[in-house]
Amino acid sequence: MYETSKQLFEKAKHYIPGGVNSPVRAFRSVGGDPLFIAWAQGSKVYDVDGNAFIDYVGSWGPMILGHRHPTVIEALQHALERGTSFGAPTEAEVEFARMLVEAVPSLEMVRLANSGTEATMSAIRLARGYTERTEIIKFSGCYHGHADDLLVKAGSGATTLGIPDSKGVPDDTARHTITLPFNDLDAVGKTVDANGKAIAAIIVEPIPGNMGVVIPRIEFLAGIRELCDHYGIVLIFDEVMSGFRVAWGGAQSLFGVIPDLTCLGKIIGGGLPIGAFGGKREIMENLAPSGPVYQAGTLSGNPLATTAGLATLKLLAQPGTYERLEKLGNDLTREVDQRARQAGQAICSNRVGSMFSIFFTNERVIDYKTALRSDTVKFSRYFHAMLKRGVYLAPSQFEAGFISSAHSEEDVTKTVEAVEEAFKEV
């Protein structure tokens, strides 16, 4: 029996908390009912109601080649003929690890996991085991998955100790996390000077995407690197979102700042669940079975995920891929900015490569504090105005948008036309 998105959502709420398996999908921040997707192809998704949308969610980042790329699908079909999971080493995961190590500057060794959350959680544990310290620093608005010690929010002041951001997170766990403002090197310096010998790691998204896209100051990342070197702190780049998105070697290759450990996910699985973390051999060899820091996973190195990942990375490595993504991103944001000026709309466009955000604010968004001053009511109206015109954006002011290599110049033109009309309604 044919069911609409609305009917499916009502049914889902009986069996799934909130009707969704990840909170932002519920459309709570923009209002209305979520789309239930039936299928996708290239730059477009199609819902169960028969509507087509130009897709800038891209499964929240992984679909950099677009949906159902024929090369990835063919590789997966061959892999399926051999089996879906073995719980044992495979040739594909060795080749996959080799490709990651050769591509990402910080990687000398890498361990595969099943999600970005697993990767960041494991990297934190490894940093603590390696340094024999307990405290970590993260930054307001940087999301690193839902592990207990990373689900904290900033309070007042530059060196506020962690306050749980979710029920179920013990205060004693969160208190080991210090939260600082992103892009504020002075705050980091003062905190590290006061607590340096207790801090195991500083974890940061080099390009945050979960408060919307925020562009880092180069001196901010470079300054953190210097502080970590001075105090023996492990610097962790969470490149789950930016890895292979903004450049072949990730944000670290783009900005020339090399961390000790890097966390990856999303794109490297080619649309299948995956995570990875890696870095200096000296640190990585502390992982079991080589060392005393335990980490494991039944489905880690899954043959389907590594197959899709290998196929995706090989396509991304082809000449001209990132140049084209850069051009599409530049064309889109330039035209959106122009339409905003013509409509008298105050917006801030932030973009790095093929990830972008449009904030409804008249100031530059440089951190979590300035992001939160955006007009979320206006964004909600904008979101629905765009959806009505066949453009699917992330249903939150504080999420990134993603362009794929499957997007065409025609897609960009149609999107800009939709933006022009949407600005009249918000």
- In contact, 339 and 417? CB cutoff 8 Å: no
What pTM did the predictor assign?
0.95
Catalytic residue, chosen from 130, 138, 148, 266, is: 266
Catalytic residue, chosen from 55, 149, 184, 238, is: 238
Structure tokens at 24: 């932002």
Which of 3.30.830.10, 3.80.30.20, 3.90.1150.10, 3.20.20.80 would CATH assign to domain 5-68+320-423? 3.90.1150.10
- In contact, 177 and 138? CB cutoff 8 Å: yes
Q: From first to last of its 426 residues, what are the pLDDT tens digits of the chain?
A: 578 999 999 999 999 999 999 999 999 999 999 999 999 999 999 999 999 999 999 999 999 999 999 999 999 999 999 999 999 999 999 999 999 999 999 999 999 999 999 999 999 999 999 999 999 999 999 999 988 888 775 322 333 344 556 788 877 788 899 999 999 999 999 999 999 899 999 999 999 999 999 999 989 999 999 999 999 999 999 999 999 999 999 999 999 999 999 999 999 999 999 999 999 999 999 999 999 999 999 999 999 999 999 999 999 999 999 999 999 999 999 999 999 999 999 999 999 999 999 999 999 999 999 999 999 999 999 999 999 999 999 999 999 999 999 999 999 999 999 999 999 999
Structure tokens at 406: 């499957």
Catalytic residue list contains 238: yes
Separation between Cα atoms, residue 179 and residue 184, nearest integer Å: 12
* Cβ-Cβ contacts under 8 Å for 313 (sequence gap 6 or more): 96, 99, 100, 103, 244, 268
Backbone angles phi, psi at 206, to 5 degrees: -60, -30
Catalytic residue list contains 231: no
Catalytic residue list contains 143: yes
Q: For the domain made up of 70-316, give the CATH fold.
A: Aspartate Aminotransferase; domain 2 (3.40.640)
Q: Report domain extents, the chain.
A: 5-68+320-423, 70-316
Give me the residues paired with residue 39 across strands: 46
225, 250, 212, 320 alpha-carbon torsion, rounded to 10°: 140
Catalytic residue, chosen from 56, 143, 368, 382, is: 143
